[in-house]
Each structure stands twice: as C-alpha cells, then as structure tokens.
Structure 1
C-alpha cells in the first residue's frame, strides 16, 4: 500500500508554480495592470483565491476547451463552475443571444419567449409555474421571502455548511449545537440565530426538532450538498423530509443550481422529489446571469392571488433586468437545444469514464481515497468513505496541499479543474480522448507524489 509523500508534494508544488509562471506571462502582465483599477486585480474576488501564483486571463472558449491570453489551450472540467455546463460557443445559443441583442436586450416588457420558457421549464423540471431573476442568489432570496409571506413565519432552516449563494440568512452553521455565523463571514450587525436555524444534512431527527414548534417558514437547501465536498442524501432522507415539512406546514425549497448535472431534470426529477419550490441559475442561460424559481401549483395559486395580484402588497422582489428579453431568449435556446436527454446521456457516459479512470489509478496505488459523484460532477475525496454531512466531508474548509498541487499540475498539462475541491464536471462536449488524457495525467501526478 502506497501513501502520499508530503515532501514530494512540496517539491512538485514548487516546480509546478515555476512552470506556471513561464506559461502565463501575458496573464501576469494583465493582472499587474488590472491591479490599478480593481482590488487584487480581478473583477470577482473569488478569482484571487485560486491556487495559482497569479490569476489566468481568459480569451475564448469552444466546446470543452478554453484558451487564455498566452495561447494555452486547456480541456475545461470547471465550465465556469457549471455556468457553461453544456460547453462554450454553442451555435444555437450564440445565434439566439446575438439576434436578441440586435433587436433589443431589456425593454422591461414580456416577449413571446416567456411562454416557451415557462412550458419548457415545466417539461424538464416538472414544476408548473416560474419566475425569472438575475441570479440563483436572488432566486433563493425571493423564495425565502415568498415562504415568509405565505406562512407568516420568520425563521428558515438551512443545512450547516451548505451553499445558497450570497444569501445572508443562509450563512448559518452548527457549532456544538449552537447556531453560529459561518466562519469567515462578516456579521454585518446581524444575529444569524434570530432569523435562521441550522441542522446537519441527512439529520432527520434534527430537522424534526427544528420544525416542531411550527415557527419555520421553509427548509431551503440543495438536494445533495455540493460545495463542502459532494454529500449525497441517505436512503429515505428526502421522503422523511417531505413528510415532516408537510406535517408542520413548512415549505420545502430545493436549490438545483449545482445539482442540475445529476440527470435530466436535475436531482428533483431524477429522484422524483416533490418540493414546493425549486431554484436555479448558472447554466440555464449559457452563462448569461439568470435565476429561476419554480413553484408548485398550490404555491403559485397563493402567490398570484395574495401577493402578485394585490396592488396594496409590494413583495420587494424582482429587478429591472429580471425576466429580460435577452435572458428569455438564451434560456429558450438552452432548453430546446442543450438541455436534452441525449446530452445528459453523453455527460453521464463521459463521467463514467472519468470516474473509472481515477478509481483505477487510486486502486493501483492502494490509496485510501474514494470518488464522490453526483451525475456528471465528481471529485476525489482524500478518505475511504463518503461523508453524510458537510461537517464530516474531507473536502470541507478548503483544499489540502495534495489537492492544491494536483490542481496546478493538471493545469500545466492542459486540464483545468474546478479550483474549489478539484471538482470535475463533464460537459457533453467531452470526448473519449479527453477522458483518456485526464486519466493519463492523473496517473502521472500520483506517480510523482507517492
């Protein structure tokens, strides 16, 4: 049985950082210039957290590949964190978006596409009524707001260590049984425990206790945890969750944003779940900012009657750019041409090959690692078993030195992994040759650090 040698990891890391600098001189130049105009020289502070000596500057993408300003062509298993889940430069999306820009992007009026988008979302995800926003974060905020208005309750229940975007009330974690603000998050003069309760994912008894006093408006979270490592629901978890929420009059909201790759129709459809609302964003418009809230018929009826149709009630939702002509056109193109059952078959087929390749490499060296997988999304767990909650997840709280070294090693050899957790996401544009390349480079890495 072999193990990871920390000294080898450190030596490989130093060498790979030097290789990175040699390959990315124009990116360094652009980063230095951009420091004069943006904090840390990046338009989104997340980019400054990436495990590289300096940020990479993107030039273009096509299919499953991206090219940076230095001309480095890389196979992309990050896909913008799934924002470009179906690949870059899809002709039907490019044509639809370019055409709509020429005709007008955001007139603050409905378009014919609204009907086709609503019916397409119903066909794919099952819920019958929809609203369009500008991000999944906004969709989650508005789903919480609707839940509070409909139930006349203030509190929400979230999963400790889960992820709902930048929703302030979701930054709640359990710390020795107490609800605390997630470490590293600024309190902003908020008492998180007044508005939110938290339980561990898969803790049915914890959920039962949290909802027993019928003071919680909604349970909101991903149907499978994706941002603290991949944590899958235990058998019968969702059935018990739905029974408890119905018994206590609590709405159930599932965030599908990063679970859409679980299968056609997302995790909700794949597992035959029955939420009151679902939220999503990212890949639904090919990378154009978008958020969606899908509602069950009973919820939509209450919303239409008591909130949206009452001129005396201002729900405080929406924004000028929400539901724009450009968004609707892009969503329709994705639904009709990208989010197809055939594309999901391809994604899952390539994911099977990627998983098998990594498992062969791990088994050959006797490493106590496993692969956590959700549909076309997977990652290496530096432990022998899948976690049952975010707190248990070996990938919770940041990357290990081995994981950081793997990321830059793969990058320097033409493979771009998601920088948080080294998640591998397989688009339908990935080929068998691409999965073979991934397996070969993964084996080469393990040869160097064991």
Structure 2
C-alpha cells in the first residue's frame, strides 16, 4: 500500500505552494486569526478546527445549503458538511423555521416538550426500534449505552473494533498492537488503563469476535456498521449479520453507532440491511446540525432497564445532562426527521455521490494510481489502497497525510471543501451536478500535478 515516491515528493512541494496561495487569498481570515488568537488558542473555539492544512484558520461568515462563504467573500462547494453534522445541508429551511419558532417559546426547561410523543413516533418509524432517549451529542449517547449494557448484563467489558471512532467515549480509545489490546497513546489525561475493560478486535473477522465473546465477560459490542473515521472500511457480506448472531449466542448486547453511516440511506445501514441491534445511536445530523443525538433500544432492553432502575441505589446514574432532550433540540429533530431526511433527498444524494465516486475513479485510473474509491450511499471516499480495505490495520497503513493534505489544500484554494481528517466527501440534498463536476475537475488537475503532468509553479 506504499505511496509512489514521486507522488509523495511532489505533494510536499504542492503543499508549500498552496499554503502561500491560501495566505494571499485570505487576508481577512489572517487578521481574524490574530484577533481571535488573543483568547482562543490557535484562534479557534475548538482545537480540531486547526486540522485543515492551512497556515491559519479559514473563518466562515455564512453557510447555507451546500455553500460556505468565508469572511473574504469566497464561496465554496462544501463536501465536508460539518463532517456529517450538516449532512442534509447547512440550515435546512424546515429546521431553521422550527428553531426560530421554538426560540421564542423556550429553549430548555428540563421538562418534556409538547412534541415529545411525535418525535418518538418518527424515530421508531424511521429506524425500527421502539424506545428512545435524547442526548446532546453522540458521545453522550454512546457513553450512556455502554453504562446501560454493563448495568443490564452485569459484565465489565466492551468490545470495539481496531480503527473505530465513537466520539469522546473513553472505552473506545484502544487499538490492536501485535495482537494485543493497547490503550491509544494519544489519549490525554487518562489515569486508568482502558485496555483492562475494553477489547479491540479486527473488523471483518468473525472468528476473532467469536473467540473473544467466549470468555463470557463482554457486555457490549459497540461498532459502526462500517469504519468511517479512518480510511473507510466496508463490512464484508454477512459480517454485521454474523456479529449480531454471535453476540446473541453469547448473551452480549450490540450497539450500532450510525452517526456517520446514516449516509447509507433512509433509516441508515440498519434499515437498509434489515438489522435488529439491541441499541442504535445517531448523532450529528439528526437535528439538522443543531447539537443533539439519540439512542434507541428494543423492548427487551427497556424491560431490563426498568428492572435495574427499580433496584438501583438512589442517586445520579451517570447518564444524562440537564440539556439533554431540550425543547429546542426536539423541535429541530422533528423538522429534520419529517421534512428533511426524506426518501427523495436520499435518492438525490446517492445518485450524485455515485457520479462523484465514478469521476474520482476515472481520474485515478487515468494515472494508473494504486488507489480505490469507496461509496456508502451519500458518502464517497478516496482510499490510498489498490483494493478495498478489510480492517483498521489496513486502513492505518493506507493513510498518507502528505498526499491527502496536498489534495485537500489544492481543492480548498479552488473553492471546494472536503473533510480535513481523511479523503471523505458527502453529498447533500442541495448539492448540484455542477458542484460534483467542479470537485472532479479540480481533483483531476491536482492529480495531474502530483503525477508530473505539469510543473508545480511557485
């Protein structure tokens, strides 16, 4: 999976040229970075906003539909879409109206709003699980599921897959190293060894999962249906179905975290494959970009929850915050579920994502580069591997940050945004064919420079 040496060398040169170009194009952002840096480290309210390959942050004035406008007045075709948070476009009209209407009638009261029953019906109908809870983020939802699974089963351990991502959930910060589970060294401020209660397994390896479940101490398997926060890894045919069957045999619960794989289609990967997990998590896009998330669960799980609550010691359970399920979030969620996340929207998104994926493949094939393009509904991703990836180890080996960043910065300087963390693109209901063609054309030009078809001009 090694990157052609000449491509990597040209990528470093291209980054240097494009960083200078970015600085020349964005004087207002440069000044704003200096002003904001007086109180925000790096000039940003969240350090992840520094992960773009730019000499200083790009500051946004407005985002609508699939277009982002920066403070220098440049307009971008946005294929990042808040790394899925704005998967259905920035400020979808029904969500914006719902937020404006609810804002005048209260934001939060730690009491259920008058649309709670309607939102519950929409969730159950869309995703197939009968019971739901609302949190502020997918991290909170996943953390709640982990706590519930341990409480319901009386077991201590959680199984995750090497290369996974589940937000800030500490239990997921483990990796496989020489066949052993190790805590990720990047985790800040961790005192206890997470590898004592979390187990990392290779994705797409049912035999390994079956062996680990045999110990009888795993409360929960927490997984995305496809690994998406590294180079994208799709499940092999029958893997997720086999995972659910194996867990049931061993008395282990399963949570499918669909925060990213909701791109697969209406109802996510779970509905597309007619799956029946014990828990289901959806964050980022469920309220149209407003901070909110949900976790759903089966009737059997709900009955066990009542049993546990009836016998637990009084006091805070460690699950939930006072802002969880607030009135504003539910109003946005209802609008998004009922009017934005529609079958028609998904049909448009998936069709254009297929056009995008094919355009990227054609540009790669023209240079005979050993790369592939993976698609999951509205999500398409360039992978630096000659064949589809099978697990997290292969995904880690395929990543080349230098080439990745050269492509991203080249596109950004030509008014196209893609996700800075990896080569992921998302198509929204508002994305146009012209947006797709713009990305593909500029991607083709970037590859031409990286492959030496033209000189990289300073």
- TM > 0.5: yes
TM-score when scaled to structure 2?
A: 0.95
Give 5+ residue unaligned stretches, structure 1. Answer: none
Q: What secondary structure sits across from 1:378 in the alignment?
A: strand
Q: Is the 8 A contact 2:384 2:400 kept in 1?
A: no
2:42 alignment counterpart: 40
Supply the distance in 2 between the matched residues of 1:285 and 1:32 (Cα, whole angstroms): 33
Q: Is the 8 A contact 2:357 2:374 kept in 1?
A: no
Shift in alpha-carbon separation, 1:337–1:311, aligned structure 2, 3 A: farther
1:149 partnered with 2:151: yes
Correspondences of 1:44-123 after superposition (within 5 Å): 44-123=46-125
Give CA-to-partner distance per residue, 1:90-126, whole Å, 9 cap, x none.
Answer: 2211110011111100011111211111111111111
Q: Is the 8 A contact 1:382 1:394 kept in 2?
A: no
Give CA-to-partner distance per residue, 1:181-232, whole Å, 9 cap, x none.
Answer: 1132235111112211110111111111111121111010111100111101
Q: What secondary structure sits across from 2:256 in the alignment?
A: strand
Q: Is the 8 A contact 1:347 1:428 kept in 2?
A: yes
Supply the distance in 1 between the matched residues of 2:47 and 2:397 (Cα, whole angstroms): 21
1:431 partnered with 2:432: yes
1:171 alignment counterpart: 173
Report the count of equivalent residues. 448
2:356 alignment counterpart: 354
Supply the distance in 1 between the matched residues of 2:367 and 2:418 (Cα, whole angstroms): 22
Give CA-to-partner distance per residue, 1:36-75, whole Å, 9 cap, x none.
Answer: 1122221111112221111111111111100011111000
Comparing 154-163 with 11-20, which one deviates more in the overlay? 11-20
Q: Is the 8 A contact 1:229 1:395 kept in 2?
A: no
Q: What secondary structure sits across from 1:103 in the alignment?
A: coil
Give the one of 346, 352, 362 matched to 1:344. 346
1:244 partnered with 2:246: yes
Aligned CA RMSD, in angstroms, stands at 1.7
Q: What secondary structure sits across from 2:176 in the alignment?
A: strand
Supply the distance in 2 between the matched residues of 1:366 and 1:103 (Cα, whole angstroms): 59
1:129 alignment counterpart: 131
Q: Is the 8 A contact 1:256 1:266 kept in 2?
A: yes
1:275 alignment counterpart: 277
Give CA-to-partner distance per residue, 1:320-372, whole Å, 9 cap, x none.
Answer: 10010000000000001111011000000110110111111111221111102
Supply the distance in 2 between the matched residues of 1:143 and 1:364 (Cα, whole angstroms): 46
1:305 positional shift:
4.0
1:11 positional shift:
2.8
1:321 alignment counterpart: 323
2:188 alignment counterpart: 186
TM-score when scaled to structure 1?
A: 0.96
Supply the distance in 2 between the matched residues of 1:316 and 1:269 (Cα, whole angstroms): 30
Correspondences of 1:380-391 after superposition (within 5 Å): 380-391=382-393
1:18 partnered with 2:12: no
Shift in alpha-carbon separation, 1:235–1:226, aligned structure 2, 3 A: same
Shift in alpha-carbon separation, 1:198–1:442, aligned structure 2, 3 A: same
Q: Is the 8 A contact 1:386 1:393 kept in 2?
A: no
1:413 alignment counterpart: 414
Q: Detail structure 1 runs of 4+ shifted over 6 Å in the superposition.
A: 308-311
1:308 positional shift:
7.3
